[in-house]
Amino acid sequence: MIETVLNGAFVGALYAMYGLGLALTLGLMRQINLAHGDLIVLSAFAAFELTSRFSIHPMLAIPVVAIMMFALGWGLQRLILERVLGHGEMPPLLVTFGLSIILQNVMLQVFSADTKNLDPGLLGTLSIKIGPYSVGILPLLTLGVAVAIFAVTAAVFGNTRFGRAVRATSDDERVARLMGIKTKKIFAAAMGISLGVSAVAAIFFGMRGTFDPSSGPERMLFAFEAVILGGLGSVWGTLFGGIALGLSQALGTLIVPSFGPLAGHLVFLFGLLLRPQGLFLKKARQ
């Protein structure tokens, strides 16, 4: 049971990192990026290409891929998504849905339908003893990196001038513009940070499992469930929402091996029914 809980927490930390990128754009721009999962998979393929061509460890590819995806997110927001903001909820949904289909087909043509993974080397086999239990270094590192990313994100958005500008834009974009805040740049930075964080999650995902061009929708689903469970607009809530999702899947697998994914979806459904605002309700700001 203890090992099951630990494994669930480790997987949940990965789901939380998926969700953090989505939470930034959903909480700030009130738009659901339906291509979020496919962009995660694109990051994993970018890391695969780097590690294959230059024979480097996937961990060394993290800063390169994160910067690349930040630039992609910035350009995506300024060139495409910015044109449909402010025209209701449907245009961004339709545009990102179309982007999702395009990304899946492009990745299929470029990388083929074969499943791939990122070789973690010794990192994938090393473990440490915690009492009577043996804990893998890679899952433990995933959890540690997730907590660190969430801590940095919470500090940046809670204690910096940029964070105050983001919160002001999230509360009322029109008033923020009147106060001199360049909201378009804020939106572009948020999308860039979203994809940069997702790139880190993608590399840990690639080291822990396999991926192919059709893996995106499932990543999107896990990200969305983590965000809604935790509470829209809550950074730490997304972390706990992801861990709750991972734990429910792990406990479901313990009961019946094939029941794990369904258990996670059921927890999401009942959580949404019992507490629609999520585990951590975003407090109203005066």
Name residues whose C-beta falls within 8 Å of residue 169's C-beta, 6 or more positions apart in sequence: 28, 176, 181, 183, 186, 187
Residue 285 lies in a domain: no
Give the integer Cα–Cα distance in Å for 9 and 239.
Answer: 10
| pLDDT over 70, % of the chain | 94
State which residues form the domain around 57: 2-274
Measured between alpha carbons, how far is 70 from 243 in angstroms, rounded to an integer?
Answer: 25
Residue 196 has pLDDT above 60, yes or no: yes
CATH code, domain with 133: 1.10.3470
**283 found inside a domain:** no
Q: What is the pLDDT of residue 88?
A: 66
Residue 79 lies in a domain: yes
Sign of CA dihedral 83, 223, 154, 152: negative
In tens, the pLDDT along 105-152 reads 999 999 999 999 999 988 888 888 877 777 888 888 999 999 999 999
Residue 279 lies inside a defined structural domain of this protein: no
Could you tell me the pLDDT band of residue 58, with boundaries at 50, 70 and 90? very high
pLDDT for 178 beyond 50 = yes
Please give the average per-residue pLDDT across 199-228, as a whole number: 92
The string of pLDDT tens digits covering residues 250-282 is 888 888 877 888 888 888 888 888 887 777 655
Residue 284 lies in a domain: no
Encode pLDDT of 68-111 as tens digits.
999 999 999 889 888 877 666 788 888 999 999 999 999 999 99
240 domain residue, yes or no: yes
Contacts of 280 (CB under 8 A, 6+ apart): 230, 231, 234, 236, 237, 240
* Number of domains within the chain: 1
